[in-house]
Amino acid sequence: MPVTTNDLRNGMALDLGEGLFSVVEFQHVKPGKGGAFVRTKLKNLRTQAVIERTFRADERVEQAVIDKREMQLLYRDGAEYVFMDVSSFEQLQVPAGVLGGASQYLKDGDSVVIDMYGTEVVDVELPAAVELAVKDTEPGLQGDRVSGARKPAVLETGLTVSVPLFVNTGDMVKVDTRTGEYLTRV
């Protein structure tokens, strides 16, 4: 659906010749001489690269309609993840490469929001934090209570995070999906 650059808003998706982009930032500029223009920062939804681009005021661009669907991870099938739409019960196979780093936070039964452009998966929106079991970590030594001391722990999804010394194998921990850092023991 065509829109003008005067209608741009943060988060709006655009289908440009170079690819599919989301508006991160925009600024309308009216210099003393010459015509007005719109300066933008755009994030490529496929590669996550951020570019800056300037448009003339009232220039027409194609708005992309992104469909956000709540999905549940059913299981992992080799290099693909099988999701189910929670409203239509339709199944969708998504290659691990499309999920990117999000796959390190997903376990069977988790719910996520998948952004789709037509039939293409362009992004996966994770919750702010997830709870995962500690699969392997060194035992904490009695009396070793140095303030702020950390040790590596491998979680059930294969993600390695730095945890405090009191966390043991089998414990459930909460991990921030934006930074990949340990938050608390559950």
Low-confidence ranges of the chain (pLDDT < 50): none
Which of 42, 62, 82 delimits the end of a domain?
A: 62
Domain of 153: which CATH number? Answer: 2.40.50.140
pLDDT, residue 142, reads: 59
Q: What is the pLDDT of residues 69-84, one digit of tens each?
A: 999 999 988 889 999 9
Q: What is the mean pLDDT of the chain?
A: 88
Tokens representing 145?
């209570």
135 forms beta bridges with: none
Distance, CA of 12 to CA of 66 (rounded, Å): 9
Q: What is the pLDDT of residue 53?
A: 92
Q: Where are the alpha helices (DSSP H) in the chain?
A: 96-99
Q: How far apart are CA 59 and CA 31, in angstroms?
A: 17
End-of-domain residue from the set 125, 142, 157: 125
Q: How many domains does the chain have?
A: 3
Quick: pLDDT tens for 144-181: 566 677 889 999 988 999 988 888 889 999 999 988 89
Same-domain pairing of 119 and 141: no
Task: List residues bridging with 109 in a β-sheet.
Answer: none
Pair 36, 14 in one domain: yes
Residue 145, pLDDT score: 62
Same domain as 119, residue 136: no
Residue 26: strand pairing partners: 40
Q: Report the DSSP beta bridge partners of residue 13.
A: 22
Are 103 and 155 a contacting pair, CB within 8 Å? no
Same domain, 23 and 51: yes
pTM for the model: 0.76
